[in-house]
Each structure stands twice: as structure tokens, then as C-alpha cells.
Structure 1
Amino acid sequence: MKLSNEAKIGALTVIAVVLLVIGFNLLKGKNLLTRKKTLYAFYDNVNGLMAANPVRVNGLQIGSVSGLSVTNANANRIRVTLSIQPDINIPQNSVASIVSSDVLGAKSVVISFGNATVYLQNDDTIQTAPGTSLTSELMSNLKPLSGKIQDALTSLDTVLADIHTSLDNQTRDNLKSSIAELNTTMKNFSQVSDSMKVLVGNVNTITVNLKNNDDTINSILSNTKQITGALANANLKSTIEDLHKTVNRLNAIMGKVDSGEGSLGMLVNNKKLYENLESVTYNLNLLMEDLRLNPQRYVHFSLFGKKNKAQPLPAGQAGLSGDTLK
């Protein structure tokens, strides 16, 4: 049996309507395929609660808001219909509150379980209590801090007033002078920093040069090591002892000279002997000069029997008369 096109269109229309109804109810939080337990809650103000908003217990969603309606023409009492999972047992003294679930202001119904042993049944009414929004909770938490903030601001105003009072002209001038000196110090520090950069550059250059002359430095160190080894192997102790003995002998000799012992001591310490020696030396020089100028006085020899005339001594010098020095 073939279906006509009209029958096919009608069947598709019915199916579409059924799916539309099911989808619409799902969007509203209703599941037509699952039987729910219905509870009612009455509020003076629902604070923007809407259908399909969640119903939670201890943060777990156990149902949703299936509808809202007014109980009288004045709309001063609103009935909220809650669809709850049938396997959830809610004590009769439980309380339902409307709260903000996020910072955007989305609402939800939160049920606080009581301790009764009798549970709510389908179409029962649950007790309600005014809910708290996230903003009100935040404000209540900030309220104790507002007094402290006010006290802190008052203290800050007092401190600023004291600072302003204490900053007389002299203090302000000193402060300006300190700031100027600080700026000068920072400039000097900048110059020192530039000098440090140059110094670091020079150190780097020296390091590079040392690295390039590594072989030469190694050779110098090797030679130094050899010299040090030779000095270590030498009998320095004996040499130092001999030098010490020589110094002691020189000290002994100088002591004798200072005390006038011996010829050198007498010569150094006896002034009369020194003057006699100086006189003898002077006369000996005159004698040698006279011998050079007048040898015939001392050697009487002539090849032809002719006597030479005596030559005078240089001016300022004593001459000889006979055998006597003048």
C-alpha cells in the first residue's frame, strides 16, 4: 500500500512538531522522557531568576527551574516550580535560596538540606529564605576592610600634612641641593662606568696579547724556574755565612780604626801625625821639582867642565838654599 504525498507530508509535520516540543522543553530544563519530582517555592523577589536555571545541592545540579508564576494580581508573591530528580530525597526542613552563580549575574536555586527524617514528596512546598548575591557577599566581605582603608587614608593624610609642615624653605632648599648632588653623582658614576668599559677593553686586549704570547711567557717561566732551581741548589747558606764573617771582620777593623789602634787608626785619629805627613808630602814634592829643574845641585858631572845656571822654581814655591828647604 502506497502512501500518498499528503500522508507523507502530514506524518513529517507531526514528527517535526513533536521534536520541536521536546526540544523546547529540553531548553527550558524539562525532560519529557524522564519523570521528575515537582516542588514549589514562594518568593517575594526572584532577583531575575528564569526558567531553566539550575537547582543545586552542595554545588551539584539536581534539577532545574521549570516555571515561574504570580499568585495574585499584585504580583507580590511569586511561585517557582522546581523539577527535581526523583531519586533525590530532600528533608522537609530544607531551605531553598536564590543566589548568583557567577560574576555575570546568572541565578540559581540552592537547596540547603535540613536534618529531618521525613522527606518532601511530589507537589510539596519547600521552605525559602532570602538569597545572597555574589555582589552582596563581596560587599559584606569588603565592609570590614572599608574602615581599615579609611583609617589608613586618614593616617596618610596626617603624614602628608606633617611632611608639608616640616618642609620649610630651608628644608626644601636642602632637598633640592641633595637632588642636584645626586644627579651629579649619577653623572660621575656614568663617567666612571665609561672608564670601566675602557679599562675592561684594555684588560681584554692584554688578555689577548698574553694569549698570543703564550709560548714566550712559557719560555720565560721555564727560564725563571731553572734560575730558581739553580739558586736553590747553590750553597747559599755557606756564602751567607762567609759574607757575615767578612762583615764582622770589617766591623772589627773599623772599630780598631775608630779607637786609634794601628797605623791607619793613628793616621785617622792623630791630627798632628796627619799634619806632619801632609808637610812631608809637600816638601817631598818641592824636592822632586827642584831635582828636576836643578839636577847639578845633586849630581856634579859635566862633559865639558861648564856649569849650568840654576833654574828658578815656579812662582809661589819655596826653593832650596844649600841643603835646606825653604
Structure 2
Amino acid sequence: MLKLSNETKVGILTVLGITLLVLGFNLLKGKSLFSHNKTIYAVYKQVNGLQPSNAVQVNGLIVGNVSKLDVMDKDASRILVTLTITKKIEIPRNSVARISSDLLGTKTVQMDLGNAGEYLQSGDTIYAAVDGSITDALKEQLNPFMKKLEGTLVNIDSVLMAVSSILDTTAKDNLQETMRNLNTTMLNFRHSSASLSGMLDPDKGNIQATFNNLAAVTGNLKDNNAKISGILDNAKTASDALANGNIDKTLHQLQETATNLNATIAKLNNTDGTAGLLLNDKKVYNNLQYSLNNLNKLLEDLRINPKRYVHFSLFGKKDKSKPLPSDTATAQ
């Protein structure tokens, strides 16, 4: 059997150890030793803390990792990032490798796949882009707010200066007087509140007594509901009797009577009829008055000298008659 020297054994173990170390290091970096990976390059102006072994994702799926980062210029204006794609996917040439970070600050390279018909091959360079950090986004959101806040503070400062200039000695005295008046008002309000509480007292309050009286009135109405209903029924009966009566006929007859009375009055005012002449013609009145005077004279003469009109004598003795009444006799 072949015997190995100690030096040979040490050399073999050293080679095996170095090999295992390299394999383990590559495995820790995410490199597969038994598959054909695709290497793609991207050039960035800044990487925002991107480190080797950071994941490369497509639609949230890890398809590779960052192999290494190299400085292309002495001023580090361009940084070459090597991306190792371990998944068997096709990446269109117009795709973009965008560096982004989550809330915890973990950096990843997101592949935004394009729509080109040609695909990147191993060793090609992809378009690069960098998302702003959360701090940058917060700054962008807070900058307008800070500007508004600065303007508001300036306005507040101006208002305070104006108030300070207004509040001279007289104004301060007036303000103190106003505060004293406000204290007096609050004291009066406290007394009013106490009075209101007394009015609202459930046992002795005026409002409670008012509600009790109202309850008594409503109770009386409830107790006399039958009487009220009877009164309303009587009123309804009376109104129905008036509605069912011959009021229209009576009013029509009354209207006809008023019409006839108007016609009669019109005839009396007219001089064509006898009654109208008696009422309106002065000559007729005078003649009638004259006739009545003559009739009065005749009756007076008949009373005084009845024998002048009736001749009756048993012995044929002539009676001496008295003279006629004066023509100036007037009717009594």
C-alpha cells in the first residue's frame, strides 16, 4: 500500500480546505456552482448603499443577486454593478435595473421589464435608474409644508407685533376692566343658573307647578270629554238645521218685498199718480186744505143753525137764525 508523507497529506488537506472555502463563499454570495448563470452589467452615478449579495427581483421574485460593485472613474462618478441572474428568464433590451429600498432600508435591484423583441445576453449592459430614498420622499413632501409653516410663523410674528403695539397702557387698562366685567357677568350667570335650577326643581319649582296645572287642565278636559262632545253635537245639529231650512226661499221673498217697496216709493215720488200728486204737488195740497176749511165752516154752521137746513115747526113760527160763522174760521 502506497504510503503518503505527512507533507503530502497536509498539502492535500490545504487544497481541499481552500476549495471548500471558495465554494462556501460563493454559496453565501448566492452563486450557483453547477448552473449556467447570466451576468449583466449596470452603470450608476450613485447606488444608495447597494451591497454585494443584495437581491435582484422581477415582479417581487428573486431572480439573482448583486455580484460586485466597481468604481469606473477615479472620482467615483460612475459605478459598475455586476448583476448575476440565476433564473432562466429573458430580459428585454429596453428593461431598466432600478435600485430601490423598503421601509427597513434593505436595498434591492428591481428589474422593470420592457417590451422589446430582443433580449439581453450574458455580458450586456442594462439601463440603470435609482429611486429616491424614503428620506428624500419625506423631504419632498415636507418642503411645501415647511414653506407654508415659515410663512405662517412670519404672519404670527407680525400679528403679535401689531397686538403688542396696540396694547398700550390705556388698552391694557381697558382689557383689565373688560376682564373684571366678564367676571361680574359670569357671577350673574351663576346666580341665574341657580335660579333656573330652582325653577326646574321637581318638587317646588315653578315649571313643575306649571306642568302640574297643565296636567290638571288636561285631566278636566278628559273628564268633560262627553260634555264637550254633546256641545259640539248640538252645534252641529243647529248648523245642520240652518243649512236644511228654507233660508234661501225666505231671503228670496224678502228680496221681492224690498223690490216692491222700492217700486211703491218710486210711484209715490212720481207726480203722475194721485198719491204722488198729494205728496209732491203744492197746489193740490192747498186746494185740499181750502176744501177742508170750507167743510169745517159748513159743519160749524150746521151746529149753530141747524134750523137753516132742517125746517120743522108745529105752529109755523119763524125761527130767527144766527149769522153765519166768519169766513176766517179755521179748521181745528
Give the alignment's TM-score, normalised by structure 1. Answer: 0.47
Q: Which has the larger radius of gyration?
A: 2
